[in-house]
Structure 1
Amino acid sequence: MNTSYSQSALRHNQILIWLCVLSFFSVLNEMVLNVSLPDIANDFNKMPASVNWVNTAFMLTFSIGTALYGKLSDQLGIKNLLLFGIIVNGFGSIIGFVGHSFFPILILGRFIQGSGAAAFPALVMVVVARYVPKENRGKAFGLIGSLVAMGEGVGPAIGGVIAHYIHWSYLLLIPVATMITVPFLIKLLKKEERRRGRFDMAGILLMSVGIVFFMLFTTSFHISFLLISILTFLSFVKHIRRAQEPFIDPALGKNVLFVVGVLCGGLIFGTAAGFVSMVPYMMKDVHHFNTAAIGSGIMFPGTMSVIMFGYIGGVLVDRKGSLYVLTIGIALMASSFLIAAFFINATPWLMTFIFVFVFGGLSFTKTAISTIVSSSLKEKEAGAGMSLLSFTSFLSEGTGMAITGGLLSIRLLDRRLLPIDVDHSAYLYSNLLLLFAGMIVISWLVTLNVYHRSRRHD
């Protein structure tokens, strides 16, 4: 009996180890190339609107794939899907590295990477729930969460050092390391029976086409792309109202607090992602920093601060409530953006502190939005609702990067708007920071208003 128990515990620990590896590298893959975007722009002689697709392409398939894997897991089995995702992620990495000198191949590689890496957040938590005993799940989730935060933290530093001293293309090979988990997971995970079920492929296609054309519009600002996107989304809404098992449950649209929480949360997360994608360009143009200094000196302290702020935010939500934490998070982000906008020509190390408080505020905001959205759902809606929040969050990050790249390229904001004495090269970035502050404050006000109204009706 003891021998059987010890073997079972050993198996659970081994599974957890390999899940931690997957979780760490999936987040690392999101962050590691961001700091190298200006270098990629120089190599290909392209504007940020095009170059930001290096990250947008990954986030696009990553967000859609996260929802897809979650829907397919009951039908095809977690083991098969997780192994498939690992292999596809590694395959995309190799394609991107081998063809990195051809921009379309690089983007294709990132598309493939994202479609494979999406399996990790979608399935890892399900594997923990199925294989790790209840009494150890809290520790397992905590360990995975810590490694995810660490991946976010060290990503810019690793990316900056490798890009500066070797070449940014080698960053594409980092996800190949997840391939070492394949033989172990094949042995450790049980084979599952396939279940019959319907899958809303038409809904997936309509939604994906609408998203892609909207992303193209944010890059080129051609009205035709926007019109196609709107028409496709209208067709998608019509479809999910008629489908028997729609990809997104239209009943969730009747929950006003849920809809506003998801949309405003997405706007905040997208704004933060846009800021992160802008910083490397700004530090190159305004302060002439090299890639290693941007990754290690500017971005690394901020991304690592997520670990501390995440814990504090969780404690404050329980003690003070989600609106209190959301307000603090918005205040931290908005004030940081405003300080950076007005003092953009000051010492470049000011941006290090700005990054810390932006990521701290973002961590607070994510905790609060998750709590608000989850509390607005009935028990039977919780799974679909929280999955949709996760999907929207990832998608918003990709959209924020695309829109920021477009604004950096068309130079619409490249003029003096604030009464400050800065170099002409800083106008664009200062105005973007002002725009970021305005966007998140508007999101906060809308969420606050709808939250209080919903509570009065209750």
Structure 2
Amino acid sequence: MSTPTPAGGVEAGRGVDPKRAVPVILFLFVFSLIIDNGFKFVSKSIGDDLGLSASTVSLQATLAGVIIGIGAVVYATLADTFSIRKLLIAAVAMICVGSLVGYVFRTSFEGILAGRIIQTCGLAAAETLYVIYVTKYLRREDQKTYLGFSTAAFQLSLLLGAVASGFIATYVHWTVFFLVPLLCVFALPGVLRKVPRHEVTAGHVDVLGLFLIAVFATCVMLFLQNFVWWWLLPVTAAMVVFVLHIRYGRRAIVDRSFFAEPRYPSMLAVVFVLYSAQLAYMFMFPFLMADLYGLDAGAASLLLAPGYLCAVLVGILSGRIARYLDSKRAITLAICMMILALAGPAVLVEAGTWVFVVSVTLFASGFALIYAPLVSTAIRDIAPEKSGVAIGFYNLTINIAIPLGIAYVAMLIDLSPRFLSWLSLAATEQGEQYANVLWIIAVITTLGLVVYRVSIAALERQDARLGRTDDPAEVTQRPSNTSVSDHTRR
């Protein structure tokens, strides 16, 4: 039987050190991130092989992103009903089955899409359950260390996923990347030996709320495929019903009290805008490198290495950075780094690959810097006992924004806009087209900065009227008492 520990963690079982299971669960966590991010990077190779447009091939990345986001909430709830060991075994099974389906039907995009959806259901479980295990079974003083691994792991997985999929696509064939996830079966003996059994309790999944979010995100992405306007009808209906569900429904996915004060919803708006740009740029990267510089996926992936290694370091040093920069300054600096990372290559799009090495370094480091202060600002006034749900919905917002960003940048690549060509030094038509896409993403990121600064200014005025003396953008430390307290697309 599971028993509470004095430090606030939960013992996995009598006489069993819960840390024994961390390496095997961490392996599945990192492995799943690498596979998920690798398939995003290899989209161009899939499109070239099957003769698909960027918008069409982006579906294998965008639909997977929606599943990851919704899966994080679903598995967090299922972990209260089913053993983490059983959920991990089921995750490995789904990863393998989906990968085999994708490989067997590799000549059909519909078959690839079906395989990716099944595979991602397993990847979502493995990504989420690591954080759940740490927050449930490790002592409070150990949790920050092990949760910190998840932040660095995501940045590193972006690099490893891009490099692995890029080299396989270039020197073997992209379809072989469907076989790489089968390696996760080697983790099963460790799961069976080291992941403890534990007692579970009844849980609740807000099926209606998650269904409405899935309808909203999927229909927006389908609208962006070909601008078929009737897709906006279910988008509008899902949004209206979701608002009513939060307001009047019992045990909705998010507490309506979170929206009573403007801080949480305003930060969600910032998050939605900014994180839509995160993997939009990375999805475009191999297309841009191939069309402007003739680089294959393997060579293009190597250009990402310096940037993501720097992002890992920024994530590791974020605690020390916080000693010198308060949240408002850190968030503003991070967004400015992102804008510069997009505007610079938009002007110098044909100046050389070195421009993009610098760009990716600034871009990835900005996202590594922004996560902690932004989430702390969002939940500052939320009661500790509700912070887990608040962060869960915050992370879900990120995971919905990311595939939408991939969808709109894929649409832009297909449309080849040129109306901002006068802002670039590009000498070719393709250079002008990619410069325009970069400028559009930069404008979207600038909108995120404007929304943030306007929101913070309004919150500061509100605090002044109420006689509060603390900065609404400042970080406040809260107990780590959530099941999905730090899992996100950082």
* Fold-level similarity (TM above 0.5): yes
1:142 and 2:127 correspond = no
- Indicate the SS of the match to 2:290: helix
Partner of 2:234: 228
Report the counterpart of residue 173 of structure 2 in structure 1.
Answer: 167
> What amino acid is the match of 2:108?
F
CA RMSD between the two structures: 2.2
In structure 2, distance between residues paired with 1:311 and 1:196: 37
TM-fit CA distance, 1:384: 0.8
| CA–CA separation in structure 2 for the residues paired with 1:82 and 1:391 | 21
Which deviates the most, 102-111 or 84-93? 84-93
Q: How far, CA to CA, are the matches of 2:215 and 2:126 in structure 1? A: 24
Whole-angstrom distance in 1 between the partners of 2:383 and 2:418 = 44
Q: Is the 8 A contact 2:18 2:196 kept in 1?
A: no
Q: Check 1:347–1:10 CA distance in 2 against 1; reply closer, same or farther (3 A cut).
A: farther
Equivalent position of 1:183 in the other structure = 189
Conservation of the 8 A alpha-carbon contact between 1:309 and 1:360: yes
For residue 330 of structure 1, what is the aligned residue in structure 2?
Answer: 335
Conservation of the 8 A alpha-carbon contact between 1:57 and 1:111: yes
- CA drift at 1:415: 6.9
Q: 2:69 is matched by which residue type in structure 1?
A: S
- State the match for 1:382 in structure 2: 387
CA displacement at 1:132 relative to structure 2: 3.0
- The residue type paired with residue 100 of structure 1 is R
Q: Which residue of 1 aligns with 2:99?
A: 93
Q: Hey, what does 2:361 align to over in structure 1? A: 356
Q: Distance in 2 between the 1:9 and 1:43 partners?
A: 54
- The aligned residue for residue 246 of structure 1 is 252
2:160 maps to 154
With normalisation by structure 1, the TM-score equals 0.92
> How many pairs are equivalent?
452
| Residue of structure 1 in register with 2:460 after alignment | 455
Match of 1:291 in 2: 297
Give CA deviations for 1:61-102 in whole Å, capped at 9, x if unaligned. 111111111122223343332332232122212211221211
| Cα separation, partners in 2 of 1:196 and 1:155, compared to 1, 3 Å | closer
Give the equivalent residue in structure 2 for 1:76: 82
Q: Over residues 148-206 of structure 1, what are the superposed CA-to-partner deviations in whole Å (9 max), with x where a residue is unaligned?
A: 43222222111211110001112122222222222322333333444334432222222
- Counterpart position of 1:36: 42
How far did 1:50 drift? Answer: 0.5
Are the counterparts in 1 of residues 217 and 404 from structure 2 also a CA contact under 8 Å? no
* Structure 2 counterpart SS, 1:319: coil
Is 1:274 the equivalent of 2:280?
yes
Q: 1:403 aligns with which of 383, 401, 408?
A: 408
Is it true that 1:307 corresponds to 2:312 in the alignment?
Answer: yes
Find out whether 1:53 has 2:87 as its counterpart.
no
Alpha-carbon separation, structure 2, partners of 1:90 and 1:38: 23
Q: In structure 2, what is the Cα distance between the partners aligned to 1:147 and 1:208?
A: 27
1:15-37, Cα deviation, whole Å (9 max, x unpaired): 01101211211210122123322
| Alignment partner, residue 397 of structure 2 | 392
What do the CA deviations read for 1:342-363 (whole angstroms, capped 9, x no partner)? 1001112221111111111121
What is the deviation of 1:54?
Answer: 2.0
Whether the 8 Å contact between 1:302 and 1:353 is mirrored in structure 2 is yes
Q: Is the 8 A contact 1:317 1:324 kept in 2?
A: no
CA separation in 2, counterparts of 1:197 and 1:127?
Answer: 16
Moved more, 164-173 or 79-88: 79-88
Instruction: Give the Cα–Cα distance (whole angstroms) in 2 for the partners of residues 197 and 362 of structure 1.
Output: 34
Structure 2 vs 1, CA of residues 215 and 200 (structure 1 numbering), >3 Å: closer, same or farther?
same
Name which of 105, 113, 120 aligns with 2:126.
Answer: 120
SS in 1 for 2:324: helix
Q: Aligned-pair distance for 1:421? A: 4.2
Greater helix share, 1 or 2? 1
Deviations 1:352-386 (A, max 9, x none): 11111111112122233122123242223211111
Task: Provide the rounded CA distance (Å) in 1 between the counterparts of 2:344 and 2:420.
Answer: 19
What code does the residue aligned with 2:307 have? Answer: G
**Partner residue in 2 for 1:343:** 348
Identity among equivalent positions (%) equals 20
Asked if 1 retains the 8 angstrom alpha-carbon contact of 2:35 and 2:181, the reply is: yes
For 1:202, the equivalent position in structure 2 comes to: 208
Match for 1:213 among 188, 195, 219?
219
1:387 match: secondary structure: helix
Q: Which consecutive residues of structure 2, in runs of 5 or more, have no partner in the other structure? A: 1-10, 464-490
Aligned to 2:446: 441
Q: Which amino acid in structure 1 is aligned with residue 337 of structure 2?
A: L
Aligned residue for 1:109?
Answer: 115
How far residue 424 of structure 1 moved from its aligned partner, in angstroms, is: 0.3
How far, CA to CA, are the matches of 1:167 and 1:9 in structure 2?
Answer: 48
Q: Check the 8 A contact 1:154/1:303 in 2, yes or no.
A: no
Which segment is superposed worse, 144-153 or 56-65?
A: 144-153
Q: What displacement does 1:222 show?
A: 0.8
Deviation at 1:391, TM superposition (A): 1.1
Give the letter for the 2:185 counterpart: M
Distance change in 2, residues 1:63/1:307 (3 Å): same
Shift of 1:387: 0.6
- Following TM superposition, by how much is the alpha carbon of 1:413 offset from its aligned partner in structure 2, in angstroms? 4.3
